[in-house]
């Protein structure tokens, strides 16, 4: 890949001193690319415009922010869904602050996302995780509008997915296929789901949660050749585990 600084340096060097100048300019430009982490012309434009480049965790929340704002108004359901994503990722406080800033940044719709998503396409599991999170955000208000679908289809294309594959994920998160929000587990239900007791140590609870999450995570199930129905069941199970763990953690007061 020829990065922006490398190309600019080579071009400027050639104009000044022909081939030797182009070689020296390319080396200097390459050093600049590495120092500023420039990987595309979009990144260069962001730098020139004073915007920082996005980390992978920030990219996710920029996408979610754009979807939330897509139809003009960010609703309480969108904000709660963003918080749920942060909880499911077990983000530290600094990471949560970055995620909130990225979500707000996404609402402006000013970031060029093609380059970021094309690079993410080299990580299939991460790409699928991003698309699943996007569908969860779309269905947070109970409906999927045309503009939201168009956005996710475009992002899916940049991630190397077909439109059919992207739309197939939507069925896992349609409201009629997931529990209602008011059907949250009780504290005792949550303890039973994780297989722990009210006197279990926080470390023991965390281990139980992570073990079950690893066993039932839809990404793992999908990678083993499971049917769409099995993936949906794993998705629901994972959501139940998240809810149960969050309830226990908040009741017990540990992080």
From CA 125, how far away is CA 120, in angstroms rounded?
A: 10
Using DSSP, state whether 171 is helix, strand or coil.
Answer: coil
Which CATH number fits the domain that encloses residue 121?
A: 1.10.3680
Tell me the mean pLDDT in the region 119-132: 89
Last residue of a domain, one of 177, 198, 216: 177
Q: Taking the C-alpha atoms of 163, 168, 173 and 179 in order, what is their torsion angle to the nearest 10 degrees?
A: 170
Mark whether 146 and 66 lie in a shared domain: yes
The confidence score (pLDDT) of residue 43 equals: 53
What pLDDT, in 10s, does the model give residues 195-204? Answer: 888 888 999 9
Mark whether 27 and 67 lie in a shared domain: no
The token pair that represents 94 in the structure block: 């600094």
The larger pLDDT score, comparing residue 55 to residue 133, is at 133
Whether 100 is in a domain gets the answer: yes
The confidence score (pLDDT) of residue 12 equals: 63
Which CATH number fits the domain that encloses residue 202?
A: 1.10.287.110
Mark whether 10 and 110 lie in a shared domain: no
Domain count for the chain = 3
pTM (predicted TM-score): 0.55
Mark whether 212 and 240 lie in a shared domain: yes
For residues 106 and 65, the answer to whether their CB atoms sit within 8 Å is yes
Last residue of a domain, one of 177, 197, 214: 177
CB crowding 222-240: b at 16 or more within 10 Å, else e: beeeeeeeebbbbbbbbbb
Q: Counting every residue, how long is the chain? A: 255
Mark whether 173 and 64 lie in a shared domain: yes
Q: Which domain holds residue 35?
A: 4-48
What pLDDT, in 10s, does the model give residues 130-187? Answer: 999 999 899 887 788 889 999 999 999 999 999 888 988 887 777 654 443 445 568 8
What pLDDT, in 10s, does the model give residues 56-113? Answer: 778 999 999 999 998 888 888 888 889 888 888 888 899 999 999 999 999 988 888 8
Question: Above pLDDT 70, what percent of the chain?
Answer: 71
Last residue of a domain, one of 142, 158, 177: 177
Q: How many CB atoms lie within 10 A of CB 23?
A: 15
**Residue 253 Rama label (left phi>0; alpha psi -120 to 50; beta):** left
**Residue 140 Rama label (left phi>0; alpha psi -120 to 50; beta):** alpha
């Amino acid at each position: 890949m020829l990065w922006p600084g490398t190309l600019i340096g080579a071009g400027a060097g050639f104009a000044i001193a022909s081939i030797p100048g182009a070689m020296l300019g390319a080396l200097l430009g390459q050093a600049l690319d590495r120092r500023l982490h420039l990987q595309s012309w979009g990144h260069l434009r962001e730098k020139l415009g004073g915007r920082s480049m996005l980390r992978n965790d920030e990219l996710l929340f920029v996408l979610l922010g754009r979807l939330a704002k897509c139809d003009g108004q960010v609703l309480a359901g969108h904000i709660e869904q963003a918080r749920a994503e942060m909880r499911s990722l077990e983000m530290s406080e600094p990471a949560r602050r970055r995620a909130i800033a990225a979500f707000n940044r996404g609402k402006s719709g000013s970031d060029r996302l093609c380059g970021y998503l094309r690079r993410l396409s080299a990580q299939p599991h991460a790409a699928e995780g991003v698309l699943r999170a996007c569908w969860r955000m779309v269905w947070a208000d109970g409906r999927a509008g045309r503009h939201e679908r168009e956005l996710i289809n475009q992002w899916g294309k940049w991630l190397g997915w077909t439109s059919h594959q992207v739309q197939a994920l939507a069925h896992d998160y349609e409201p009629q296929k997931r529990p209602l929000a008011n059907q949250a587990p009780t504290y005792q239900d949550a303890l039973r789901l994780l297989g722990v007791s009210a006197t279990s140590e926080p470390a023991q609870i965390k281990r139980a949660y992570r073990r079950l999450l690893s066993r039932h995570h839809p990404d793992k199930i999908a990678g083993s050749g499971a049917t769409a129905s099995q993936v949906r069941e794993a998705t629901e199970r994972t959501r139940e585990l998240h809810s149960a763990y969050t309830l226990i953690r908040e009741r017990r007061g540990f992080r």
